[in-house]
């Protein structure tokens, strides 16, 4: 198992090219935010914006549009049950996140099926939260390989069939190999399994054990992939950055609130980009 380092993150997060525009830094689409879970989609979108994504669109329940506009005016909003708008947004995106606050009802399943049918091999699909639970219960798997799964241990149990007590690194790696793409098994020391390598994140602690931390990670992942490529290094750098920002907050704060982690992202990324090559 390779251990992720600060140097690896600093190799990924580089100064922005001067000749650039918002389209250079990735078009991210986040699908989630059912009526009872609007915060999850707003946190994911906020993390994507603050981690540098060029353009962020959120497909969420109409009841959350005003909240999204108020909390995050940088993001665009569409309604997750509007098939035509979702279809246009799916076509335009470089990176798609599905799951933060999606829920598991019929509307959630419909937009998940629509997404799995629409994504193409040039796009990256990050599957989180309720979308993992639905993929497990409905036996759904995306057809192309640019997939990043982000289960917590119970979601991983549902997806892999491995009981939490049996989730050893070796068992996790074997189960991840059965799935397309990369699997991030979130836990105290998060493990990342790409098709060719395994990594462990050595940092982060219980300051992250609060609702919305995983939703925040999805936005960081999407922004990093949109800006820096969809490589294993980029995925590892995103996981590391999430935990490193929380660990820095935990030096003076008892809990690293997702909103505090999000606010600290641009500063931490500047620090990474300031490192010599």
Ligand X SMILES: NC(=O)C1=CN([C@@H]2O[C@H](COP(=O)(O)OP(=O)(O)OC[C@H]3O[C@@H](n4cnc5c(N)ncnc54)[C@H](OP(=O)(O)O)[C@@H]3O)[C@@H](O)[C@H]2O)[C@@H](O)CC1
Ligand Y SMILES: Nc1ncnc2c1ncn2[C@@H]1O[C@H](COP(=O)(O)OP(=O)(O)O)[C@@H](O)[C@H]1O
Contact residue for Mg ion among 39, 103, 212, 214 (CB under 5 A)? 214
Within 8 A by CB and 6+ apart from 277, the residues are 11, 14
Closest contact distance (angstroms) between CB of 232 and ligand Y is: 17
Q: Tell me the residue number closest to ligand Y, measured at CB.
A: 214
Rule CB under 5 A: choose which of 38, 39, 52, 129 binds Mg ion.
Answer: 129
Q: Which of 212, 236, 245, 268 binds ligand Y (CB under 6 A)?
A: 212
Is residue 194 part of the contact set for ligand Y (CB under 6 A)? no
Question: What phi-psi label fits residue 245: left (phi over 0), alpha (psi between -120 and 50 degrees) or beta?
Answer: alpha
Of 60-68, 78-86, 134-142, 186-194, the segment contacting ligand Y by CB under 6 A is 186-194
Q: Does 257 bind ligand X (CB under 6 A)?
A: no
| Binding-site residue ranges for AMP | 186-190, 214
- Residue 219 as a binder of Mg ion (CB under 5 A): the answer is no
Q: Encoding tokens for residue 231? A: 């490589």
Is 164 among the residues that bind ligand Y (CB under 6 A)? no
In whole angstroms, how close is the CB of 276 to ligand X at the nearest point?
A: 37
With binding defined as CB under 6 A, does residue 151 bind ligand X?
Answer: no
99 binds Mg ion (CB under 5 A): no
Instruction: Tell which residue, 26, 221, 234, 227, has the closest CA to residue 126.
Output: 221
Of positions 123, 213, 234, 241, contacts ligand Y by CB under 6 A: 213
- For position 209 contacting ligand Y by CB under 6 A, the verdict is yes
The single residue among 81, 187, 259, 271 that binds ligand Y, judged by CB under 6 A, is: 187
Mask for 19-48, x = binds ligand X (CB under 6 A): ------------------x-xx--------
Q: Binding residues for ligand Y, per CB under 6 A?
A: 129, 152, 186-188, 190, 204-206, 208-209, 211-215, 217
Q: Binding residues for ligand X, per CB under 6 A?
A: 37, 39-40, 99-102, 129-130, 133, 152-155, 164, 187, 211-212, 214-215
């Amino acid at each position: 198992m390779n251990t992720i380092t600060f140097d690896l993150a600093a190799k990924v997060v580089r100064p922005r090219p001067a000749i650039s525009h918002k389209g250079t830094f990735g078009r991210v689409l986040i699908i989630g935010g059912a009526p009872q879970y609007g915060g999850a989609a707003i946190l994911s979108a906020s993390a994507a914006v603050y981690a540098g994504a060029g353009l962020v669109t959120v497909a969420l329940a109409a009841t959350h549009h005003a909240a999204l506009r108020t909390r995050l005016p940088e993001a665009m909003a569409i309604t997750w049950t509007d098939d035509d708008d979702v279809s246009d947004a799916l076509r335009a995106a470089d990176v798609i996140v599905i799951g933060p606050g999606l829920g598991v009802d019929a509307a959630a399943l419909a937009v998940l099926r629509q997404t799995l049918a629409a994504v193409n091999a040039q796009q990256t699909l990050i599957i989180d939260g309720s979308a993992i639970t639905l993929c497990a219960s409905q036996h759904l798997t995306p057809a192309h390989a640019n997939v990043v799964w982000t289960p917590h241990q119970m979601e991983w149990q549902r997806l892999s069939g491995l009981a939490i007590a049996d989730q050893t690194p070796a068992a996790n790696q074997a189960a991840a190999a059965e799935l397309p793409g990369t699997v991030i098994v979130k836990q105290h020391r998060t493990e990342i399994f790409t098709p060719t390598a395994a990594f462990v994140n050595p940092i982060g602690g219980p300051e992250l054990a609060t609702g919305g931390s995983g939703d925040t990670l999805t936005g960081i992942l999407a922004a990093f992939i949109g800006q820096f490529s969809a490589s294993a290094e980029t995925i590892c750098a995103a996981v590391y950055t999430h935990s490193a920002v929380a660990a820095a907050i935990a030096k003076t704060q008892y809990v690293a609130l997702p909103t505090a982690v999000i606010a600290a992202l641009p500063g931490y990324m500047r620090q990474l980009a300031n490192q010599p090559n």
